[in-house]
Each structure stands twice: as C-alpha cells, then as structure tokens.
Amino acid sequence: MKRILTIQDISCFGKCSLTVALPLLSAMGIETAILPTAVLSTHTLFKGYTCKDLSDQLTPIADHWKREGITFDAIYTGYLGTEEEIDTVIGIINTFRNDHTLVFIDPAMGDNGKLYPAFNEHYAKKNADLCAVADIADPNITEAAFLTGLPYRETYEEEYVRELLLALADLGTKTPILTGVSLSEGKTGAMGYDSAKKEFFHYQNDRIPAAYHGTGDIFSSVLAGAFVLGIERTGALKTAADYTALTIAKTLENPENPWYGVDFEATIPDLVKALNP
C-alpha cells in the first residue's frame, strides 16, 4: 500500500483541509499520515474562529518519525499558516524526500482574485519557495497570479493559462497544474505543463453553475492520490475533476445543503468505483 504524508491544518468544523484529505486518501486505498499545522474551530471564512498554532510541534514529530525509520511515497501540503512554517515544511520535505518521493504542493491561500483573510502578499510570495521544491503544484488562477506576480484575470484565453504555467515552472515546479481553468464556454477543469517534456496537458468537463468552499481541497486530495496511485497525468486530472463535479452536482440535489461545503461523503463510493472499474 502506498503511504502519503499530508501537512495542513485541522479546521475542526467546515469540511476542508485535513477533514477532507484524510477520508478521501483513505478511501483511495492510500495509507495517510497527517502533520497538523494548526487547530482551528472552523476555516477562516467563518467570523470569530479560534486558532492554535502547532508550528513548534512539526519538527519534533518529524524527527521522531525519522528515528523510527518511517518513509513516505509522497508528501502533500495544503493550507499552511506562516512564513516560518513554510520554511519548516520545506525542511521536512528535504528530510524525507528521496528519488522516488512525489512532492505535491497545493499553495492554498486564496480564491476569486483575493487572498484568504489570514494572509498577505508577503506570505503569498513566500509560497513560491515551497513551489520551488514541488514535483507537482496545483494553484488556482488567483494563487498562481500571487505566486508569479502576473495579473489575475477572470476572463482569459488559453494563452494566459499557458503563460501562468510557464511562470510557475520558472519558480522551479516540475509540473505545475492550474485548477479552475475554463478553456471554452460552459467547461471547466485543469491544465498542466510538464517542464521536462515541455508538454501542456488538460482535462475539461461541464461546468456546474455553483461554487462551494472546500472544493479546491477535494480536487487536490484526489489529484494527489491519483498521482500516488500511478495514474497517468490526464487520467489523474479526469479522476479529480470528475469526482469534484459529481460531488458538486450531488450537493445541489439537497436544498438544505450546508453553505460551508459539499457533500463529498455521499460520493465516496463513486470515487472508489471510478478507481476500480
């Protein structure tokens, strides 16, 4: 069985970060170790959330694992908290990585042209250091714009997406993948760039006219899992994009749906089936 380490916060309520990554990766048949960077009462889009930073625990925990001889096939980072924490996480990646380790970075820090409430532009730029050590990084367009300094656009041509991908590759990411990319009317999905082969690739499915918080974390978790399982790049994009779209569609069926997230629990059996046709 493959083993992944995921490093992100625990938002105790609100369906994002670890409470999404852990169940999804487990459902995909991947042993999942967690390194929680902070414990929050909810994610930061709720008002009045509490936050206990756990940065000082990361290195002692990783050191213990090292002494135990624990290894990982992949390391997947999500929402982090501070610039110092990014340096700590880069150190942990360098400690555990070998020639076969997949390093997957989701530089989770914003959406719709804006950073999340806890972050500023300096923190956003610092994420470029993390992307520099990534085999795969999957920012959305907002995050890519903050990382590269290129302008954020809501409407764009494919050329803009390629420009962002090339700029992300310049940061050092081997295979940047831009999420939430629409390449034609009514479609959405992702586009990537393999910098070693100098090849672009993409996957698009039908856009479902609804936006829910946490779908980025769902997409990233399933995409990271698909790569860990050895699914080839376009198949990995399809697995993540189709599962995310199905989950949004399922959530829309429920008029009482929670505004803070999607009903991904209901579609886990479909994810398992998609992986074992």
Tally the residues of the chain: 277
One of 85, 102, 217, 218 touching ligand PXL (CB under 6 A)? 217
- Nearer to ligand PXL by Cβ, of 9 and 85: the residue is 9
Written as six digits, the tokens of 209 are 């006219």
DSSP strands (E only) in the chain: 3-13, 31-42, 51-53, 74-77, 102-105, 110-111, 114-115, 136-137, 175-181, 187-194, 199-206
The reply on whether position 17 binds ligand PXL by CB under 6 A is yes
d(CA 139, CA 77): 12
Concatenate the DSSP letters of all residues of 135-185 into one string.
SEE--BHHHHHHHH-PPP-SS--HHHHHHHHHHHHHHT-SEEEEEEE-SST
The reply on whether position 45 binds ligand PXL by CB under 6 A is yes
Piece of 57-65, 196-204, 209-217, 223-231 that binds ligand PXL (CB under 6 A): 209-217
The reply on whether position 22 binds ligand PXL by CB under 6 A is no
The reply on whether position 16 binds ligand PXL by CB under 6 A is yes
The reply on whether position 44 binds ligand PXL by CB under 6 A is yes
Piece of 40-48, 171-179, 186-194, 224-232 that binds ligand PXL (CB under 6 A): 40-48
B/e letters for 56-87, b = 16+ CB within 10 Å, e = fewer, are: eebeeebeebeeeeeebbbbbbbbbbbeebbe
One of 40, 164, 191, 222 touching ligand PXL (CB under 6 A)? 40
- Nearer to ligand PXL by Cβ, of 47 and 197: the residue is 47
One of 32, 43, 134, 227 touching ligand PXL (CB under 6 A)? 43
Minimum separation from the CB atom of position 11 to ligand PXL (A): 5
Q: Interaction with ligand PXL in 111-140: which residues (CB under 6 A)?
A: 116
d(CA 234, CA 24): 20
Minimum separation from the CB atom of position 20 to ligand PXL (A): 8
- Biggest CA pair distance of the chain: 53
- Nearer to ligand PXL by Cβ, of 5 and 169: the residue is 5
Give the other-Cβ count within 10 Å of 41's Cβ: 14
Q: Are 80 and 7 within 8 A, CB to CB?
A: yes
Residue 178's beta-bridge partner residues? 191
Q: Interaction with ligand PXL in 230-259: which residues (CB under 6 A)?
A: none
- Nearer to ligand PXL by Cβ, of 152 and 260: the residue is 260
Q: Interaction with ligand PXL in 64-83: which residues (CB under 6 A)?
A: 79
- Nearer to ligand PXL by Cβ, of 73 and 111: the residue is 111
**What residues line the site for ligand PXL (CB under 6 A)?**
9, 11, 16-17, 40, 43-45, 79, 108, 116, 214, 216-217
